[in-house]
């Protein structure tokens, strides 16, 4: 026979005293009384395990907090140990050679003139010392030095630099671990080296000039710029019935103080006057120049006068007068005013000269010194220059090449030195006409031709903005377009006629056709022309053989 276990229901032999499956004992009175001690045991075991894990977790968190606290103390200690006055690197300097044209003066400062009464100039080579901003290197934080995080940040820039024109501040880039430490402890490093402004910095930082003309002190204030080692000053305020003004100035040659001597140049006009007088000297220093853009973007100035109490030559630089929309009169009482070809730009000047004198005059935008043409106004209201019959010479001819508004040039037969360099004529020119009877040049259909030094063949100055589509080259003449090695395109010319003695410059040059005659479509050529084979081989347009 068999019997069933009351605990698990398994069949057991009749003689069994306990169950091998659930360890039920037939000697115990009940199952519930037998299992109760096991349930209590497991409950106590669970409680003990939970308390042990919690205790270990709290211990680990406390250890981490202690570690971070110690590291924070180390960071603060290292920061306080740093020098409070770091040494900045020395600035780097380099020397550049510069060629200057300066007037020749006597020991008393008076200009030296030639037999024609013109100022004599000399070309000198001077050296220019340039001071470069100091180089900076990236600073590593304490943790980055330990973990060598620099190898992971090679792709990042070494420094973040913020430049305000003269001073350069360097922001230190921090590594990952230092940023983490800062986020935990709130430790913010200084973002610039040496925030304190020292007396030396004040001495090398230029002060900002206030635009006001009424509150300017009457005394002269000197200031120094480290980058160019240039002393800059301001004149006393001049008050006139037409308004008040003052000037900023510097040595005549800022990078060559020895050659400047005691002379200065004006660099900036500040004021609201309609009539302005250029001083002859400032604090005993002769004014010898008016620098580029000294007078700029001013609609109130109507007249500029030069003081006539000095014999020092005053040089006007390129665009000394720039965009003065009301300037009509320049009174050069000082006979030593030397004008560069483009000393004025966008100025409607109608008179240049000495009050009461007819020797120097401005007619229709052209300035003449006696019988010599010297300068042409680059202004939209002046588009044609006609040299009168009493004009015998062109001086400073390169000025014509700077006149973008000049469209038509008419040359009298008495002009002795007509320029034959393409560089002397502007790209806006459409027409050049020469009066008949000139011994060396002539014009044909708005193109000027000049004789070669040998033989009787003529080359040409073809206006770059000439709009004609057809041009017939005269006998014994070459047709060329370009400025020396820099070719200038004429986009209008489509058709050229070549007789048996008229020629093209570089007839076998594809570059010449593509660059100088990009729209040339047809060439009419005589059947026995000596350039026929070269033109036929290279020219891709229509070549028409015609006897004419």
Rounded distance between C-alpha atoms, residue 461 and residue 478, angstroms:
10
Residues 319 and 413 in one domain: yes
Better-predicted residue by pLDDT, 506 or 265: 265
Better-predicted residue by pLDDT, 183 or 49: 49
Strand, coil or helix: 436:
coil
Residues 449 and 482 in one domain: no
Instruction: Quickly state the pLDDT bin for 213 (edges 50, 70, 90).
Output: very low
pLDDT tens for 85-117 read: 445 555 565 555 555 666 676 655 666 666 556
In a domain, 116, yes or no: yes
pLDDT score, position 313: 87
Rounded distance between C-alpha atoms, residue 391 and residue 414, angstroms:
7
Helix (H) or strand (E) holding 363: strand 360-363
Instruction: Quickly state the pLDDT bin for 238 (edges 50, 70, 90).
Output: very high
- Whether residue 256 contacts residue 125, with contact meaning beta carbons closer than 8 Å, is answered with no
In a domain, 17, yes or no: yes
H helices within 115-166, ranges in order?
142-147
Does residue 512 carry a pLDDT above 80? yes
The residue-averaged pLDDT of 338-342 equals 74
Residues 23 and 159 in one domain: no
pLDDT score, position 193: 41
For the chain, percent of residues with pLDDT exceeding 70:
64
pLDDT score, position 22: 76
pTM over 0.85? The answer is no
Residues 456 and 471 in one domain: no
In 3D space, the residue among 298, 315, 284, 285 whose CA is nearest the CA of residue 242 turns out to be 298
The residue-averaged pLDDT of 265-287 equals 94
Q: Which of 65-74, 183-192, 194-203, 255-264 is modeled with the greatest confidence?
A: 255-264
Better-predicted residue by pLDDT, 80 or 199: 80
Residues 184 and 62 in one domain: no
pLDDT score, position 348: 86
Give the residue numbers spanning the domain of 510: 467-548
The answer to which of 143-147, 309-313, 542-546 has the lowest mean pLDDT is: 143-147
Residues 456 and 474 in one domain: no
Does residue 517 carry a pLDDT above 50? yes
In a domain, 87, yes or no: no
Query: What average pLDDT does the chain have?
Result: 75
Residues 342 and 365 in one domain: yes
Does residue 182 carry a pLDDT above 80? no
Does residue 170 carry a pLDDT above 60? no
pLDDT tens for 305-337 read: 998 776 788 989 989 999 999 999 998 876 678
Rounded distance between C-alpha atoms, residue 375 and residue 398, angstroms:
9
Does residue 499 carry a pLDDT above 60? yes
In a domain, 198, yes or no: no
Q: Of the residues 405, 428, 461, which one is the last residue of a structural domain?
A: 461
pLDDT tens for 435-485 read: 999 998 999 999 999 987 666 788 899 998 999 999 999 999 999 887 654
Instruction: Quickly state the pLDDT bin for 356 (edges 50, 70, 90).
Output: low
Residues 123 and 257 in one domain: no
Residues 258 and 396 in one domain: yes
Residues 313 and 440 in one domain: yes
Instruction: Quickly state the pLDDT bin for 409 (edges 50, 70, 90).
Output: very high
Residues 318 and 230 in one domain: yes
In a domain, 74, yes or no: no
- How many Cα atoms sit within 13 Å of 218 on the Cβ side? 2
Helix (H) or strand (E) holding 410: strand 408-411
Phi, then psi, of 304 in degrees rounded to 5: -125, 125
- How many Cα atoms sit within 13 Å of 517 on the Cβ side? 27
Residues 340 and 379 in one domain: yes
**Structural domain total, the chain:** 4
């Amino acid at each position: 026979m068999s019997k069933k276990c009351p605990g698990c229901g398994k069949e057991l032999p009749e003689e069994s005293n306990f169950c091998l499956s659930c360890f039920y004992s037939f000697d115990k009175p009940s199952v519930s009384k037998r299992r109760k001690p096991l349930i209590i045991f497991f409950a106590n075991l669970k409680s003990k395990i939970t308390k042990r894990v919690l205790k270990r977790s709290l211990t680990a968190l406390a250890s981490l907090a202690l570690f971070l606290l110690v590291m924070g103390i180390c960071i603060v200690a290292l920061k306080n140990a740093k020098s409070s006055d770091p040494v900045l690197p020395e600035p780097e300097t380099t020397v550049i050679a510069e060629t200057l044209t300066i007037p020749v003066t006597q020991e008393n400062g008076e200009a030296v003139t030639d037999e024609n009464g013109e100022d004599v100039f000399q070309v000198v080579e001077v050296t220019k010392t340039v001071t470069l901003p100091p180089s900076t290197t990236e600073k590593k934080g304490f943790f980055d030095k330990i973990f060598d995080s620099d190898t992971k940040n090679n792709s990042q820039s070494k420094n973040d630099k913020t430049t305000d024109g003269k001073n350069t501040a360097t922001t230190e880039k921090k590594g990952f671990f230092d940023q983490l430490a800062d986020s935990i402890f709130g430790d913010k490093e200084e973002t610039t080296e040496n925030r304190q402004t020292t007396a030396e910095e004040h001495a090398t930082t230029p002060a900002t000039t206030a635009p006001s003309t009424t509150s300017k002190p009457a005394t002269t204030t000197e200031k120094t710029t480290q980058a160019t080692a240039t002393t800059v000053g301001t004149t006393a305020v001049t008050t006139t019935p037409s308004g008040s003004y003052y000037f900023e100035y510097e040595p005549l040659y800022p990078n060559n103080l020895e050659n400047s001597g005691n002379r200065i140049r004006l660099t900036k006009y500040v004021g609201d006057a309609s009539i302005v007088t250029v001083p002859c000297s400032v604090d005993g220093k002769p004014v010898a120049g008016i620098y580029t853009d000294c007078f700029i973007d001013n609609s109130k100035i109507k007249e500029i006068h030069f003081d006539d109490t000095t014999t020092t030559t005053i040089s006007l630089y390129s665009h000394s007068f720039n965009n003065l929309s009301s300037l009509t009169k320049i009174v050069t009482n000082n006979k030593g005013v030397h004008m560069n070809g483009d000393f004025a730009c966008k100025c409607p000047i109608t008179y240049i000269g000495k009050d009461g004198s007819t020797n120097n005059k401005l007619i229709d935008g052209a300035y003449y010194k006696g019988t010599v043409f010297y300068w042409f106004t680059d202004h939209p209201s002046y588009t044609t220059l006609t040299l009168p019959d009493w004009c015998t010479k062109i001086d400073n001819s390169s000025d014509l090449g700077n006149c973008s508004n000049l469209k038509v040039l008419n040359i009298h037969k008495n002009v002795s030195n007509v320029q034959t360099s393409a560089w002397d004529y502007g790209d806006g020119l459409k027409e050049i006409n020469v009066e008949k009877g000139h011994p060396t040049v002539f014009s044909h259909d708005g193109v000027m031709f000049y004789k070669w030094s040998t033989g009787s063949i003529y080359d040409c100055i073809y206006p770059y903005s000439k709009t004609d589509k057809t041009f017939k080259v005269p006998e014994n003449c070459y047709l060329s377009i370009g400025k020396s090695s820099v070719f200038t395109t004429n986009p209008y010319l489509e058709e050229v006629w070549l007789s048996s003695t008229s020629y093209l410059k570089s007839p076998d040059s594809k570059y010449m056709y593509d660059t100088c005659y990009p729209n040339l479509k047809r060439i009419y050529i005589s059947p026995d022309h000596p350039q026929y084979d070269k033109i036929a081989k290279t020219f891709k347009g229509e070549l028409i053989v015609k006897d004419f």
